Amino acid sequence: LKALVIDKGKIAFIEKPVPQIAANEALVKVLVAGICNTDLEIERGYMGFSGTPGHEFVGVVEKCSQAGLIGQRIVGEINHGCGNCDRCKKDLSRHCPNRSVLGIVNKDGAFAEYLSLPIKNLHIVNKSISDEQSVFTEPLAAAFEIPEQVHIKPGMDVLVFGDGKLAQLIARVLKLNSAKVVVIGKHETKLKLLERFSIETKLLSEFKPRQSPITIEATGSIEGFELAVKCTQPRGTLVLKSTVADSEKFNLSPLVIDEIAVIGSRCGPFSPALGALEKGSVIVEDLISKTFRFEDAIAAFDYAKKPGVLKVLLDMR
Amino acid sequence: LKALVIDKGKIAFIEKPVPQIAANEALVKVLVAGICNTDLEIERGYMGFSGTPGHEFVGVVEKCSQAGLIGQRIVGEINHGCGNCDRCKKDLSRHCPNRSVLGIVNKDGAFAEYLSLPIKNLHIVNKSISDEQSVFTEPLAAAFEIPEQVHIKPGMDVLVFGDGKLAQLIARVLKLNSAKVVVIGKHETKLKLLERFSIETKLLSEFKPRQSPITIEATGSIEGFELAVKCTQPRGTLVLKSTVADSEKFNLSPLVIDEIAVIGSRCGPFSPALGALEKGSVIVEDLISKTFRFEDAIAAFDYAKKPGVLKVLLDMR
């Protein structure tokens, strides 16, 4: 099969054998995959991963021990715990210290014609959801992790810093909780996408810092984090959503003085994400900047790095 | 009156008039005051404060509009809100944006023969508590802020990083909540003080990092913070208790990957602190390294900076 590989910051195509599946696994033919900022960070060396990246995908089960699954269109959770440790037993396998993570840690990912995943990671996708929409399940689940961790009350003032792919999904999800969401970003065209959902936006250059009980950092930059700290009211909560590969210099004492809670937030629950796609309560299609044929994946990576670009898809159909 | 002043990193004695008190204030003759790490940070330029430092004290009310208070021995809360803003109205005057803070922000502090404070900040001290014990009310209240913010369950594994004054009080307070407290520090003599309370201790050099649901950073160093992050289990809570004046370089992504909550924690409630001193449920006297006459306060500041030294008191009696 044809697969993309990243090794020491170099990205290339290789031919490799179709993966052998274990008894608990399914062989999945990938239909469409999405490029995430984490993939771009991985290319820069984040997580020290070498192998096939890609963790946002929709595919069809070709082989597995559960006959009913064969031929089904599925999306897949990306963390796979050992199943034996305390965390796995407490239903926290997303935090298993020995976990593999599809396309990120110890497991080849979705930028290939085939991938393998444990059967229990798979979710069947309803026919009403298109392939393109399905690819957003994983990042949309990450957005749904926020109301899972933090109590977002109706009418609550929430500032979202960032206007990229993840920030867009977060704003749309929090709007479902009837929060008063304001998105602060640098790109007029990206902010404009939020208008149809009646989400208030502000260009960073025009934003006058003010304090809010909940702020979300989704810019992936240290300046974004510092502004979010400044805009979190005393005893408020700052949800830290983006991972940045670099160490940066800053001062922690504002967190102590204002007794701010900084809450790290990563992967989230697939069910509400699929539910929102099915009901159409969260729109995602407008976030697709361009779809590339899989054989043009390297050009797609370059395109995804351009300013102003949102989701880039790879089509393997 | 004789008062210590800090101005641009220089510490000196001056003579100044006894403070005029407003209708809502009391004039307090200071009996004993304590030197806190924040005072040493202020001397280094933290908060840009110039004036008389000192916020840990016990004194006697000499003048105020409430006759019953005159002659009473009191301790005082250090934050004074404007009384009119949203935060003050929500009983959050400790976080009023226009607050003064005794000896730290816009208000002369306790390293002087007299100070003034709003009457509502005062707490009468029970006769069974000595002057020396009373001085610990403020830092002990800061330790009681932790169980106020975080649910410490009985038997819970709590790692406290640091063995200084504040770390000592925190360990003793959390032990009251039946937590399984382990204190990790650099100083054998300081750790030894915790033995009588059956609090487990570990020298940093012998500590093998392991993960705990709750960690407390009370070292005031970036190395302490990084070790605390490493030792906080996924979805666990790191309480950030110490303020550090400097900006430091570090990487935030472990907070996201492990979905850690970092909770800043500052001043706390006086009532449980006074209650613990009265009942003797928290012992503090063993934390006094040395008591200086007030006129030797400059030598006392130098002494307080020495490694191995815990609380240094100034005696104005």
User: What pLDDT is stored for residue B249 in this prediction?
Assistant: 79
Task: Report the pLDDT averaged over residues A36-53.
Answer: 88
Say yes or no for a CB contact (<8 Å) between A264 and B257.
yes
Mutate to test the interface with A, among B237, B263, B265, B267 (most CBs of A within 10 A): B263
User: What pLDDT is stored for residue A253 in this prediction?
Assistant: 87
Cβ atoms of B67 and B36 closer than 8 Å: no
User: What pLDDT is stored for residue A9 in this prediction?
Assistant: 80
Say yes or no for a CB contact (<8 Å) between A252 and B95.
no
Tally: H helices and E strands in chain B: 10, 18
Cβ atoms of B240 and B266 closer than 8 Å: no
User: What pLDDT is stored for residue B227 in this prediction?
Assistant: 95
Q: Identify which of A87, A240, A253 has the shortest CB distance to residue B244.
A: A253
What pTM does this model have?
0.92
The rounded distance, in Å, linking the Cα atoms of B38 and B82 is 23
Average per-residue pLDDT for chain B: 94
> A114-171: per-residue pLDDT in tens?
999 999 999 999 999 999 999 999 999 999 999 999 999 999 999 999 999 999 999 9
Q: Is B259 on the interface with A (CB under 8 A)?
A: yes
C-alpha distances in angstroms, A137 versus A282, B143, B164?
Answer: 11, 43, 48
Say yes or no for a CB contact (<8 Å) between B264 and A249.
no
For residue B102, pLDDT over 90 is answered with yes
Say yes or no for a CB contact (<8 Å) between B256 and A248.
no
> B46-79: per-residue pLDDT in tens?
778 899 999 999 999 999 999 999 999 999 999 9
DSSP state of A174: H
> B109-150: per-residue pLDDT in tens?
999 999 999 999 999 999 999 999 999 999 999 999 999 999
- Chain A residues touching residue B255 (CB < 8 angstroms): 240, 262, 264
DSSP state of B204: G
Sequence-distant (≥ 6) Cβ neighbours of residue A252 within 8 angstroms = B225, B240, B243, B244, B248, B264
Task: Report the pLDDT averaged over residues B20-42.
Answer: 94
Alpha helices in A155-201 (DSSP H): 165-176, 188-192
Q: Is B243 on the interface with A (CB under 8 A)?
A: yes
The rounded distance, in Å, linking the Cα atoms of B74 and B131 is 10
For residue A245, pLDDT over 70 is answered with no
Chain B residue nearest residue A217, CA to CA? B256
Distance of residue A237 Cα from the nearest chain B Cα, in angstroms: 9
